[in-house]
Structure 1
Amino acid sequence: MRIGYPCVNESLPCTSTSTFRLASYSEERLVQAVSNNLACLQNILEYNVAHGLLFFRMGSGLVPFGSHPINTFPWQTHFAAELRALGDYIKAHNLRVSFHPDQFVVLNSPDPGIVERSIQELVYQGSLLDLMGLDSTMKLQIHAGGLYGDMESALARWIATYHRLPDAVKARLVVENDDRLYSLRNCLRLHEAVGVPILFDNLHHECLNHGEPMAEALRMAFATWHPTRDGVPMMDYSAQSVGERKGKHTASLDEGLFREFLTHLHGHDADIMLEIKDKEASAHRACAIMHDIGLLVRAASPTVSS
């Protein structure tokens, strides 16, 4: 198992998602922002390796306006060496990375323009992973989308859009159960239709379910992952913030609740992304707990040529 956190490392004085306003777009600004973002991402990955945090969700804004028509700069070739070096580092140290495209990515929207922009965003983010030379176990995580008053039609539109995706995107796409509209059971229908793996979110399942116990829900979701094509199942972990709206994440890891959750895994392997506000601070504590009970994967030692 690996433990991870999303997008931002609060211990480091940089961000890997620096951007600027669309109105001030220029190729010079773009090159500077991408250079800074990739350098910071390298720093974050090195920090993670040093601390045994081997799962990281990269920010969608590595390349500002990466899927926007205004961005015609050939960043793919300009930054080819830097992206390949990042991928080599990830592979050498047994890291796993992913993206979670923004909420505007909605494959089942009745608006064709939203669907087209969603596809282009997935192509952009998938291309970053491709340019890093990473395999299909590095995923693009999305929600199923909206209901628009009719679950059956919404599911049908999602499936129809999925069939339009490039194969390189299909190979990386996973769908997450949410806390209001698409339960694990609903996501299983998408898996049954097209084979998309389900990235399980435990708090969302607690908020929206059909009576499946946590251990059974985990088993059902993990069974949708192909062991070689998809790799070890990925999941999101968080806990309900007391006194807040239903589904709001805690600010920090509740170690007792996390230990209790791990008992539901029953020997299943999983890479766990912490959806918790204090990022790597909680990840360190979760890592220590998993080390104590013998569940943690360690960083690989890179091969040294003699």
Structure 2
Amino acid sequence: MNINFGYVAISMKLDNVSPNKTVTLKNLKKIDRIYWENKLQLIAKQNLENTLKILKYNNAYDIKLYRFTSKLVPFATHEEFKDYDWKTALKKEFELIGNFVNEKSMRVGTHPDHFTLLNSPRKEVIEASIKDLNYHNSMFELMGLGCEHKMIIHVGGMYKNKEDSIKRFYEGFSLLDDKVRKRIALENDDKLFNAEDVLKICNDLKLPMVLDIHHDFCNPSPLRIKSLIKDIFDTWKNEKFPPKIHISSPKDEKNIRSHNDYVNCNDFIDFIKEIKCFDFDFDVMVEAKMKDKALFKLIDELLVYDFIQKKSDGSIWVNTKIL
């Protein structure tokens, strides 16, 4: 069982390399309007240059899995800047990132925020969600990256009726451009739509599913993971990359939905033991607050088990025969 690990957006080991730099509209209004776009371009270019630095750092440690921040291009979907041609202005920077990802055979993705709701009953929310997904897809296209690099979203809100909410998700999904639909993967959430719910939707829409172990702990399915995991991983059978899961641990007993700084090693071992009979290869996105530091700490702690061997700083091999 080969397992690659990755982390989200920011390296905690690199200084002054944030890809999340931004500016508020209030501060933009303090300068002349004709300079607004120049200001935004400078910030976005710095975000993209820092992203490339992070990817080069990841490559040095053989970390092949990484999630881009959604904040690379400030105000990209804001109505105030609908005429801002950020795609042309930032074409070179995006191409450099995409070339590096392809050259080093990395797996990258995005996770649009919780305001992206394809099943909202409000038309304006649906329109804003489609605009946001188009923005994320445009970043991948500017990088020259294929649809194997995914945008992970949740089903959305419950709005007091689960069946109607799922139906609206299908309707909202149908409004997306085909190129955007091909890039979508769905994830179970920690309150509303459990792994079993999301698996059914993924099978209906022929989408890959990302299993979040922490969310399953907070919002478990009637069927346990051992009964679902083969079908969940089978949703990736036509994809270039292996199945992917998310892992994090509760902050504490009172705040089970909040993420801890690090991953409790036992949470991952419990998952491995539950699915060992299938002997799947898969990738793991670490969603702990300490990012790459949490990734390295988790791998170090896993190595105390005799059935786990280190392949690189960012990957392990699990001998399921002796597990």
CA, structure 1 residues 143+297, in 2 after alignment: closer, same or farther (shift >3 Å)? farther
Aligned residues of 2:261 and 2:294 also touching (Cα < 8 A): no
The answer to whether residue 252 in structure 2 is matched with residue 249 in structure 1 is no
CA, structure 1 residues 75+85, in 2 after alignment: closer, same or farther (shift >3 Å)? same
Q: How do residues 1-306 of structure 1 correspond to structure 2 at under 5 angstroms?
A: 1-12=3-14, 13-25=16-28, 26-71=36-81, 72-228=83-239, 231-266=241-276, 267-288=279-300, 293-294=308-309, 296=311
SS at 1:70 equivalent = helix
Aligned residues of 1:177 and 1:200 also touching (Cα < 8 A): yes
Aligned residues of 1:5 and 1:56 also touching (Cα < 8 A): yes
Work out the CA distance in 1 between the residues paired with 2:71 and 2:259: 23
Aligned residues of 2:58 and 2:64 also touching (Cα < 8 A): yes
- The residue identity in structure 2 corresponding to 1:253 is V
Aligned residues of 1:176 and 1:200 also touching (Cα < 8 A): yes
By how many angstroms is 1:251 displaced? 1.8
CA, structure 1 residues 257+189, in 2 after alignment: closer, same or farther (shift >3 Å)? closer
Work out the CA distance in 2 between the residues paired with 1:190 and 1:86: 33
CA, structure 1 residues 213+285, in 2 after alignment: closer, same or farther (shift >3 Å)? same
- The residue identity in structure 2 corresponding to 1:54 is K
Larger radius of gyration: 2
| TM-score under structure 1 length normalisation | 0.91
Work out the CA distance in 1 between the residues paired with 2:273 and 2:173: 35
Aligned residues of 1:51 and 1:284 also touching (Cα < 8 A): no
By how many angstroms is 1:294 displaced? 4.4
SS at 1:216 equivalent = helix
SS at 2:71 equivalent = helix
1:80-131 Cα deviation digits (max 9, x unpaired): 1221111110111121111010111001000100110000000000110111
Unmatched 5+ stretches in structure 1: 300-306
Work out the CA distance in 2 between the residues paired with 1:179 and 1:47: 32
- The residue identity in structure 2 corresponding to 1:293 is I
Work out the CA distance in 1 between the residues paired with 2:142 and 2:309: 34
Percent of aligned positions that are identical: 28
1:128-182 Cα deviation digits (max 9, x unpaired): 0111111111110111111111111111110011111011111110111011100
Work out the CA distance in 1 between the residues paired with 2:159 and 2:222: 25
How many residues matched?
298
Work out the CA distance in 2 between the residues paired with 1:111 and 1:257: 38
| TM-score under structure 2 length normalisation | 0.86
By how many angstroms is 1:287 displaced? 4.0
Unmatched 5+ stretches in structure 2: 29-35, 315-323
